[in-house]
Protein backbone atom coordinates (compact mmCIF):
# COMPACT_ATOMS: atom_id res chain seq x y z
CA UNK A 1 0.00 0.00 0.00
CA UNK A 2 1.32 3.44 -0.94
CA UNK A 3 1.78 5.90 1.92
CA UNK A 4 0.05 9.23 1.22
CA UNK A 5 1.86 12.48 1.95
CA UNK A 6 -0.20 15.43 3.21
CA UNK A 7 1.96 18.28 1.90
CA UNK A 8 3.84 21.16 3.46
CA UNK A 9 0.91 22.80 5.27
CA UNK A 10 -0.63 19.50 6.36
CA UNK A 11 -4.18 18.32 5.92
CA UNK A 12 -6.77 20.83 7.15
CA UNK A 13 -9.46 19.51 9.49
CA UNK A 14 -11.63 22.63 9.90
CA UNK A 15 -12.63 25.57 7.74
CA UNK A 16 -14.30 28.92 8.42
CA UNK A 17 -15.93 31.40 6.12
CA UNK A 18 -15.96 35.16 6.43
CA UNK A 19 -16.88 38.04 4.16
CA UNK A 20 -16.34 41.77 4.17
CA UNK A 21 -16.10 44.92 2.12
CA UNK A 22 -14.29 48.19 2.44
CA UNK A 23 -13.65 51.40 0.62
CA UNK A 24 -10.85 53.94 0.66
CA UNK A 25 -9.03 56.33 -1.64
CA UNK A 26 -6.64 53.54 -2.73
CA UNK A 27 -6.86 49.80 -3.32
CA UNK A 28 -4.48 48.80 -0.50
CA UNK A 29 -6.56 50.54 2.16
CA UNK A 30 -9.83 49.35 0.61
CA UNK A 31 -8.52 45.79 0.90
CA UNK A 32 -7.29 46.42 4.47
CA UNK A 33 -10.70 47.83 5.43
CA UNK A 34 -12.35 44.69 4.04
CA UNK A 35 -9.98 42.54 6.11
CA UNK A 36 -11.04 44.50 9.20
CA UNK A 37 -14.69 43.81 8.43
CA UNK A 38 -13.81 40.12 8.00
CA UNK A 39 -12.11 40.19 11.43
CA UNK A 40 -8.78 39.00 10.01
CA UNK A 41 -6.95 42.32 9.76
CA UNK A 42 -3.95 41.19 11.83
CA UNK A 43 -3.15 37.97 9.98
CA UNK A 44 -1.06 37.14 6.92
CA UNK A 45 -3.03 35.42 4.16
CA UNK A 46 -1.53 32.58 2.10
CA UNK A 47 -3.51 31.93 -1.11
CA UNK A 48 -4.30 28.27 -1.82
CA UNK A 49 -6.40 26.50 -4.44
CA UNK A 50 -9.94 25.19 -4.18
CA UNK A 51 -9.66 21.62 -2.89
CA UNK A 52 -10.45 20.55 0.69
CA UNK A 53 -10.49 17.08 2.29
CA UNK A 54 -13.69 15.00 2.21
CA UNK A 55 -14.26 15.19 5.97
CA UNK A 56 -13.57 18.91 6.49
CA UNK A 57 -15.59 20.48 9.32
CA UNK A 58 -17.23 23.89 8.78
CA UNK A 59 -17.01 25.99 11.96
CA UNK A 60 -17.55 29.64 12.97
CA UNK A 61 -14.53 31.91 12.55
CA UNK A 62 -12.27 31.55 15.62
CA UNK A 63 -9.93 34.21 17.01
CA UNK A 64 -6.39 33.93 15.66
CA UNK A 65 -3.12 35.10 17.19
CA UNK A 66 -1.76 38.36 15.76
CA UNK A 67 0.57 37.61 12.86
CA UNK A 68 -0.83 34.12 12.18
CA UNK A 69 -0.29 32.75 8.68
CA UNK A 70 -3.69 31.70 7.32
CA UNK A 71 -4.21 29.61 4.18
CA UNK A 72 -7.08 31.20 2.27
CA UNK A 73 -9.35 30.48 -0.68
CA UNK A 74 -10.50 33.92 -1.70
CA UNK A 75 -12.91 35.61 -4.08
CA UNK A 76 -12.35 39.34 -4.31
CA UNK A 77 -13.03 42.27 -6.55
CA UNK A 78 -11.95 45.87 -6.55
CA UNK A 79 -14.07 48.41 -8.38
CA UNK A 80 -13.61 52.10 -9.11
CA UNK A 81 -16.89 52.42 -11.01
CA UNK A 82 -19.43 54.73 -9.38
CA UNK A 83 -22.70 52.92 -8.64
CA UNK A 84 -21.41 49.55 -9.90
CA UNK A 85 -22.86 46.43 -8.26
CA UNK A 86 -20.14 43.93 -7.45
CA UNK A 87 -20.33 40.49 -5.88
CA UNK A 88 -18.06 37.77 -4.60
CA UNK A 89 -19.31 34.21 -4.20
CA UNK A 90 -17.79 31.08 -2.74
CA UNK A 91 -19.59 27.75 -2.89
CA UNK A 92 -18.25 24.54 -1.37
CA UNK A 93 -19.70 21.08 -1.75
CA UNK A 94 -18.68 17.60 -0.70
CA UNK A 95 -18.32 14.95 -3.40
CA UNK A 96 -17.96 11.21 -3.74
CA UNK A 97 -16.04 9.34 -6.42
CA UNK A 98 -17.97 6.11 -5.93
CA UNK A 99 -20.37 4.60 -3.37
CA UNK A 100 -17.41 3.58 -1.21
CA UNK A 101 -14.89 6.33 -1.98
CA UNK A 102 -15.36 9.92 -0.77
CA UNK A 103 -14.15 12.65 -3.08
CA UNK A 104 -12.70 16.05 -2.25
CA UNK A 105 -14.73 18.94 -0.93
CA UNK A 106 -14.68 21.25 -3.95
CA UNK A 107 -14.67 25.03 -3.60
CA UNK A 108 -15.60 27.37 -6.45
CA UNK A 109 -15.00 31.08 -6.13
CA UNK A 110 -16.15 33.90 -8.37
CA UNK A 111 -16.07 37.68 -8.21
CA UNK A 112 -17.36 40.11 -10.81
CA UNK A 113 -19.20 43.29 -11.68
CA UNK A 114 -22.68 41.83 -11.56
CA UNK A 115 -25.58 41.13 -9.24
CA UNK A 116 -25.52 38.29 -6.72
CA UNK A 117 -27.84 36.07 -8.78
CA UNK A 118 -25.49 36.04 -11.79
CA UNK A 119 -22.49 35.51 -9.51
CA UNK A 120 -24.15 32.47 -7.92
CA UNK A 121 -24.89 31.04 -11.36
CA UNK A 122 -21.25 31.45 -12.45
CA UNK A 123 -19.85 29.96 -9.23
CA UNK A 124 -22.22 26.99 -9.50
CA UNK A 125 -21.14 26.44 -13.13
CA UNK A 126 -17.49 26.41 -12.04
CA UNK A 127 -18.26 23.92 -9.26
CA UNK A 128 -20.11 21.65 -11.72
CA UNK A 129 -17.12 21.72 -14.08
CA UNK A 130 -14.71 20.86 -11.24
CA UNK A 131 -16.83 17.83 -10.32
CA UNK A 132 -17.20 16.74 -13.94
CA UNK A 133 -13.44 16.70 -14.63
CA UNK A 134 -12.95 14.54 -11.52
CA UNK A 135 -15.90 12.26 -12.34
CA UNK A 136 -17.24 13.12 -8.89
CA UNK A 137 -20.84 13.33 -7.70
CA UNK A 138 -22.16 15.91 -5.24
CA UNK A 139 -23.19 14.81 -1.76
CA UNK A 140 -25.75 16.81 0.23
CA UNK A 141 -26.38 20.54 0.02
CA UNK A 142 -23.80 23.09 -1.01
CA UNK A 143 -22.35 25.10 1.85
CA UNK A 144 -22.44 28.67 0.65
CA UNK A 145 -22.31 32.20 1.89
CA UNK A 146 -22.79 35.11 -0.42
CA UNK A 147 -21.80 38.71 -0.16
CA UNK A 148 -23.00 41.41 -2.53
CA UNK A 149 -22.20 45.08 -2.30
CA UNK A 150 -24.22 47.49 -4.42
CA UNK A 151 -22.01 50.45 -3.68
CA UNK A 152 -22.12 54.07 -4.77
CA UNK A 153 -18.72 55.69 -4.81
CA UNK A 154 -18.76 59.46 -4.34
CA UNK A 155 -15.86 61.76 -5.07
CA UNK A 156 -14.80 63.39 -1.79
CA UNK A 157 -14.10 67.12 -2.05
CA UNK A 158 -10.43 66.63 -1.14
CA UNK A 159 -9.73 64.51 -4.25
CA UNK A 160 -9.57 66.12 -7.69
CA UNK A 161 -10.80 62.95 -9.48
CA UNK A 162 -12.90 59.98 -8.41
CA UNK A 163 -10.44 57.47 -7.03
CA UNK A 164 -12.38 55.74 -4.28
CA UNK A 165 -12.10 51.96 -4.49
CA UNK A 166 -14.33 49.26 -3.18
CA UNK A 167 -13.31 45.72 -2.23
CA UNK A 168 -15.51 42.78 -1.48
CA UNK A 169 -14.08 39.43 -0.53
CA UNK A 170 -14.83 36.05 0.91
CA UNK A 171 -12.30 33.83 2.52
CA UNK A 172 -12.25 30.16 3.44
CA UNK A 173 -9.73 29.46 6.17
CA UNK A 174 -8.70 25.80 6.26
CA UNK A 175 -6.73 24.87 9.40
Task: Confirm if 103 and 54 have CB atoms less than 8 A apart.
Answer: yes
Is residue 167 predicted with pLDDT exceeding 90? Answer: no
Going by their DSSP bridges, the two strands 44-47 and 137-150 should be labelled as: unpaired
pLDDT at position 175 is 55
For 61-104, write each residue's pLDDT tens digit. 888 899 988 888 888 888 777 667 777 888 888 999 999 999 99
DSSP H or E run through 145: strand 137-150
Q: Is 116 exposed, middle or buried (0-12, 13-18, 19+ CB in 10 A)?
A: middle
- Between vectors from CA 88 to CA 69 and to CA 159, what angle results, nearest 5°? 90
What CATH number labels 14-174? 3.50.20.10
For 93-143, write each residue's pLDDT tens digit. 899 999 999 999 998 888 888 888 888 889 889 999 999 999 999 988 765
**Which residues on adjacent β-strands are paired with residue 12?**
none
**Which residues on adjacent β-strands are paired with residue 70?**
45
Amino acid sequence: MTKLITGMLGLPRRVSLTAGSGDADNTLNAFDNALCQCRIENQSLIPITSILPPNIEFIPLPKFSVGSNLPVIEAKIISKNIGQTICAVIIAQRTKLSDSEPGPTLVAEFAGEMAKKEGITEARHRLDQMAKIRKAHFVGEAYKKLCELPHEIRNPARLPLPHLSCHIGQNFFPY
